[in-house]
Amino acid sequence: MDNKIKAMIYDGNFLRDVAEKLLEKGYRVIAPIKSGNYFIFREIDNPERISLNFINTKKSAKEFLFPQNEGLIRYREWIEEILLDSKKRAIIGIRPCDAKAITLLDEVFLKGFKDPYYEARRKNTIIIGYACNETGDYCFCSSLGLSPHETEGMDILVTNLGDRNYLEVITDKGDEIIGLFDVKEVTDEDGKRKHELERKAVESTTRKIVSDMKDVLVNNFNSDYWRKVAFNCIGCGTCTFLCPTCFCFDMLDEGEKEGIRYRAWDSCQFPLYTLESSSHNPRREKWQRLRNRFYDKFLYTVESKGKVFCVGCGRCISDCPAGVDITEVMNGLLKEVSE
């Protein structure tokens, strides 16, 4: 355990109460709400809208740091920059996998060249996580070295102990927030309960992935396996758009003589993504595009950033219209190679 992390107990529903407090202080509060058959992050103005009875939200919270559409400049005879969005905000109730994913987006947008649009939002965002006491059937964070009670990427992590909340305060930003509340010391009993909940959550995670596959991937780029796994794939962008770590975007102009230059999420699963202006397309075939998704997450980002870009949230599995399954594909590759 990181000894910088401070633990404490809050009597009551911390996520709800912190939302109320931050709204009073003028923060934009982003929290999970129920919408139809699923849960989704929304900016709320009333803490009663928060719904915490979920395994995970349909979309991750990445769009609140890196929106699907984002204006960059306005143009007509002159160019006008769009003001950076630096309003104070809090993302509340985010799951550990999605918070970890934000640290991976940080690698992309803040290391080396700093993306000013992302940076302005990120700097002004407080992240208050919500530990998973129960994991879903599509979850596999624990086989990626994460825990359902992981604190990485958060300012505060809240674990629901039933009648009270166990808080872990990770950063100074988190400390400041905690200063607004009455908290108690953690008893041995609380510590034990928290530990037990974490252990149970890890144990109940049935899905596993073999992620340390660098060499296997390097050696099997041209394997027929990739054509086989792509048979079902319909080539849509669901997996990439729902993925909390996918960060690709395209820049477009809307308006001929005057208008707006904006960036928009793009997907390596679309043929236009790699189309070169010579009309050559290095990933013309669907199977090449699907293969790229696995290589990008488990090889290219490992080579360029030293990190696997998958956090095990399972959205690409549960929402794939064709049943493509990242765990089956990766585990299957290992099996294929060893046969």
Partner 1 sequence: MDENTLKKLKEKCREMLKEDVEVIIVYTRKESEPKEILTVIESPDEIEKITLSPLSANNPAKHLIHELKNRSGKIGVVAKGCDSRAIKQLINEGKIDRERVHIIGISCPGIIDYRKLITKFKPSEVKKVTLSGDTVLVQTVNDEQRIPLDKLIYENCLYCTHPTPQEYDSLLGEVREGRRDFSDIEELEKMSQEERWNYWIGELEKCIRCFACRNACPFCYCTECLVDPTDLAISPMSPAEEKASYPRFLGKTVNAQDNLFYHLLRVIHHAGRCVGCGECERACPMDIPLRKLERKLEKEVIEVFGYIPDGDVPFLARLDILPEKETTSGR
For 15-116, strand residue ranges (E) read: 28-35, 38-44, 69-75, 79-81, 89-94
Q: How far is the CB of 307 from partner 1 (least distance, A)?
A: 25
| Residue 184 per-residue DSSP state | B
CA atoms within a 13 Å half-sphere pointing along the CA-CB vector of 145: 9
Question: For partner 1, which residue of 95, 266, 301, 311 counts as binding (CB under 8 A)?
Answer: 266
> According to the binding rule CB under 8 A, does residue 338 interact with partner 1?
no
The burial class, CB within 10 Å (0-12 / 13-18 / 19+), for 161 is middle
Please name the residue that has the structure tokens 């699923």.
38
Q: What is the C-alpha separation between 239 and 325, in angstroms, rounded?
A: 10
> According to the binding rule CB under 8 A, does residue 279 interact with partner 1?
yes
- Cα-atom radius of gyration of the chain, to the nearest Å? 21
Q: Is 225 helix (H, G, I), strand (E, B) or coil?
A: helix
> According to the binding rule CB under 8 A, does residue 271 interact with partner 1?
yes
| Minimum CB distance to partner 1 smaller for 164 or for 227 | 227
| Minimum CB distance to partner 1 smaller for 124 or for 281 | 281
- At residue 30, φ and ψ (nearest 5 deg) are -115, 125
Q: What is the C-alpha separation between 39 and 51, in angstroms, rounded?
A: 8
Question: For partner 1, which residue of 52, 84, 110, 275 counts as binding (CB under 8 A)?
Answer: 275
Residues 201-230 contacting partner 1, CB under 8 A: 206-207
Amino acid letter, 243: C
Whether residue 148 contacts residue 112, with contact meaning beta carbons closer than 8 Å, is answered with no
- Bridge partners of 177? none
Whether residue 42 contacts residue 57, with contact meaning beta carbons closer than 8 Å, is answered with no
> According to the binding rule CB under 8 A, does residue 278 interact with partner 1?
yes
> According to the binding rule CB under 8 A, does residue 250 interact with partner 1?
yes
Q: How far is the CB of 38 from partner 1 (least distance, A)?
A: 7
Binding mask 122-161 for partner 1 (x = CB under 8 A): ---------------x------------------------
| Minimum CB distance to partner 1 smaller for 14 or for 64 | 64
Pick the piece of the chain touching partner 1 (CB under 8 A) from 1-9, 97-105, 263-271, 295-303.
Answer: 263-271
Q: How far is the CB of 12 from partner 1 (least distance, A)?
A: 30
Q: List the structure tokens of 322.
A: 């064709």
Binding site for partner 1 (CB under 8 A): 35-38, 58-59, 68-69, 137, 206-207, 231-232, 234-238, 241-242, 250, 252, 254, 262, 264-267, 270-272, 275, 277-279, 281, 319, 321-323, 325, 327-328, 332
